[in-house]
Amino acid sequence: MPHRSMQSVLRLCLLMAAVRLRGLHSRASLMRLGVCYYPEHWDPALWPRDAARMAELGLSIVRIGEFSWSRIEPARGAYDWEWLDLAIETLAGAGLDIMLGTPTATPPKWMIDAHPDMLAWDKEGRPRRFGSRRHYCFSSEAYREECSRIVMQMASRYGAHPSVTSWQTDNEYGCHDTVRSYSPAALAAFRLWLRKRYGEIAALNDAWGTVFWSQVYSSFEEVDLPNLTVTEPNPAHVLDFYRFSSDQVISFNRMQTDILRKHAPSCDVYHNFMGFFTDFDHFQLSNDIDVAGWDSYPLGFLDVGPYALDDKQRYMRQGHPDFAAFHHDLYRACGRGRFAVLEQQPGPVNWAHHNPAPLNGMVRLWTHEAAAHGAELTSYFRWRQAPFAQEQWHAGLLRSDDAPAAAYEEVEKAHKELKSLENEGPTKKTATHADIAMVFSYETQWMSEIQPQGARWNYLGLFYEWYAAARRFGCNIDILAPGAALQKYSVVLTPSLFHISDSAMRAYGETDAALVFGPRCGSKTEAMQTPSNLAPGPLQSLLPVRVMHSESFPEAHKESGRYSGEAVYGRIWLDRLETELAPIATTDDGAGLLFRQERRWLFAAWPDSAFLTRVLGDVFSEAGLDAAILPEGVRKRSNGDCVWTLNYNAAPAALSDMEKDLGGKVLLGNAEQLAPAGLLVRKKQ
Ligand code: GAL
């Protein structure tokens, strides 16, 4: 078969060339650039040119496959690999690495028809339908079997391919409200989960306090899912259902990673998390992957996110200055130092209420922000805009007529700049260093949603406000799970933490950092009951305070008080404390807003942003941090020897004298003034 063997030789040569190129790409790379590509959307005749243009643009990795199940397996057991083989060969031949997605977010129609009970049910008890994506229930055993089959097929075919260097599991677990399913499959799995957790039904009755309203159960088989109740269901029941649902996502993912580890042992495994999404515990899921990916859509999230109208207007084309940074810091911790942007907005999206285009320069700036935070990769979504189906209005790097879209040039520029920084500054192996840690808890978010006790209480919102206030000082921040080691930090911020576990208490006890706590800390036990010694529960061993009662307030109300001679305000929430400590900020009627004992601080109220900034300034300077407030809309981040200063304003920003005094060699930009969406990169002196 001479023809056949010629083909094999050719294939081998292409692959060897690809491997050599890959070595060049990844060596000392500050951050790689990549793109999301859907070869199945395009005529194969376009692929070679696409691949060559990607490489020419400076992209070195291409993410494919995550929605391609119906093309891989058009009918049950009838696999069509030919097109995917060819797509992979073509991309690899241009020197690109491939990240292959398992296609389990989009089960084909024939599968739904074969297993109608694999669909998730919504809270109203209705099965969700085929016709978009993510139409499956994490608890469906039949679906898990189908998934393990397709992942096994793909992994055994491509797991050892030299150009398939990484895998992504599924796509955006939980997107479109899909973590919590109220299906019969979920009910059966929930009962098993409860049995495992409690052993005896009496233990569940105790933990949930079912004596209240006569909810006592005599067996696990009697327990239903917490939907369609007449009024609010038992909060501990809901919390356990949320924990169970999170665990189902984690075990579904692990089913896939176990297969990938076996068949693709040398590949990194990723998943792409979302922005502002908390329905499962990302710290826990990340234990099974190598790199925590996330999808960054700063403009979409500004529009649909919990931002003030002023910010929505001011940053309409830039996105909020802390949006990407917050997720970089959170997901870097999830990935134990390794994270990536797997989808980067390149232009208008199709899914927000309003979809403006990024200001000129923003795609470049977002790319630098990721590099400054230590990301390994930024991959733009998507290569070419699709002229059909749901996302026709979503921009790509190319327009649907194949001409470069606005972001194309910015990517080209960012690529060149990152290359130039590699010779001067950090390599991707540089661990970014932070002086400030913030403790983030998925479970506190769940408890907050279940019993907010005030319509304006929003834990994620509170946390983000604290993060944004701290970032105004230009310091690096790590976001950590409760219980993570805190010794290496100078300051640890805990905006709230409802249940403080033994391991979290140990971590607080073992650090010399300044500790700043916010309202409602320690207000619940693990079973979501009030602690027997009242809030802040175990924290009383670090701070001699007890919460006697708490109040929540409507929008217009502010508790005014004084701190260091200045007027300050608390809002939304106020814990009324009993303590021997004299408050250091007091309301006009004598209630404490802020308490302190040595290096431990506690806000009894949700501080407004001026109050919070004032106090953080004092905490940071006492802790010896080099922290000064940056101009509005300007942010700073260092990675290794390089310091980035980034302008999220639509207008030029002058740098303060203090910033100018920092000196250091200017590697990129202008040290006097930042252009709109401009940036300055300096090498530390
Ligand atoms: C993400 C998703 C992509 C695409 C993108 C559009 O949520 O992972 O597949 O839909 O949004 O912005």
Give the DSSP per-residue string, 198-211.
HSSHHHHHHHHTTT
Taking the C-alpha atoms of residue 201 and residue 183, their distance in angstroms, rounded to an integer, is: 23
Q: What is the pLDDT of residue 458?
A: 97
Question: For the chain, how big is the Rg over CA atoms in Å?
Answer: 26
Which ligand 1 atom sits closest to the C-alpha of 345?
12
pLDDT at 121 over 70: yes
- pLDDT above 70 (res 261): yes
Task: Give whole-number Cα distances, 128 to 178, 223, 224, 546, in Å.
Answer: 10, 23, 20, 47
Which range among 274-278, 344-348, 623-627 shows the weakest confidence by mean pLDDT? 623-627
Beta bridge partners of 601: 516, 596
Q: How confident is the model at residue 430 (pLDDT cuts 50, 70, 90)?
A: low
Q: What is the pLDDT of residue 428?
A: 53
Q: Is 381 in the pocket of ligand 1 (CB under 6 A)?
A: yes
38 has a pLDDT exceeding 50: yes
Q: Give the pLDDT band of residue 318 (cuts 50, 70, 90).
A: very high
Is residue 319 over pLDDT 80? yes
Q: Which residues of 433-464 are buried (b: 16+ CB within 10 A; e: fewer)?
A: ebbbbbbbbbbbbbbbbbeeebeebbbbbbbb
pTM confidence score: 0.95
User: Do the Cβ atoms of 585 and 592 come closer than 8 Å?
Assistant: yes
* Cβ(171) – ligand 1 distance below 6 Å: yes
Distance 360 CA to ligand 1 centre (A): 22
CA 572, CA 588: separation in Å to the nearest integer? 17
Q: Does 431 score more than 80 pLDDT?
A: no
| Residue 290 tokens, joined | 């190598």
From the CA of 402, how far away is ligand 1's center (Å)?
Answer: 20
How far apart (Å, rounded) are the C-alpha atoms in residues 287 and 350?
33
664 pLDDT higher than 90: no
Query: What's the CA gap between 18 and 22, in Å, rounded?
Result: 6
**Cα 211 off chain centre by:** 39
pLDDT at position 424 = 79
- Between the CA of residue 377 and those of 4, 78, 328, what are the distances in Å? 37, 35, 12
Assess whether the C-beta atom of 435 lies below 6 angstroms from ligand 1. Answer: no
Contact 599, 619 (CB under 8 A): no
> pLDDT by residue (tens digit) across 332-350?
999 999 999 999 999 999 9
Alpha helices in 80-200 (DSSP H): 82-93, 109-114, 141-158, 184-198
Look up residue 94 and give its DSSP letter. T
For residue range 68-88, what is the model confidence (pLDDT) as tens digits? Answer: 999 999 999 999 999 999 999
Alpha-carbon distance of 641 to 244, in angstroms, equals: 44
- The dihedral through the CA atoms of 403, 406, 411, 413 has a sign that is positive
Indicate the range of 115-124, 130-139, 293-302, 637-646 predicted with least confidence.
637-646
The pLDDT of residue 24:
42
Per DSSP, helices labelled H in 116-234 are 141-158, 184-198, 201-208
Q: Whose CA is nearest to atom 6 of ligand 1?
A: 349
Closest CA to 545 of 501, 601, 492, 505: 601
DSSP-assigned beta bridge partners for residue 99: 63, 166
Mean pLDDT across the stretch 659-673? 85
| Predicted confidence band of residue 164 (pLDDT cuts 50, 70, 90) | very high
**Residue in the structure block whose two tokens are 């919460």:** 547
- Say yes or no: CB of residue 349 within 6 Å of ligand 1: yes
Ligand 1 pocket mutation, candidates 64, 69, 102, 172, criterion most atoms within 8 A of CB: 172
Q: From CA 266, how far away is CA 479, in angstroms rounded?
A: 29
Q: Ligand 1: which of 351, 380, 392 to mutate, most ligand atoms within 8 Å of CB? A: 351
Q: Residues with catalytic annotation?
A: 172, 343
Protein residue whose Cα sits closest to atom 5 of ligand 1: 381
pLDDT greater than 90 at residue 18:
no
What is d(CA 200, CA 37) in angstroms, rounded to the nearest whole number?
51
Answer yes or no: is pLDDT of 253 > 70.
yes
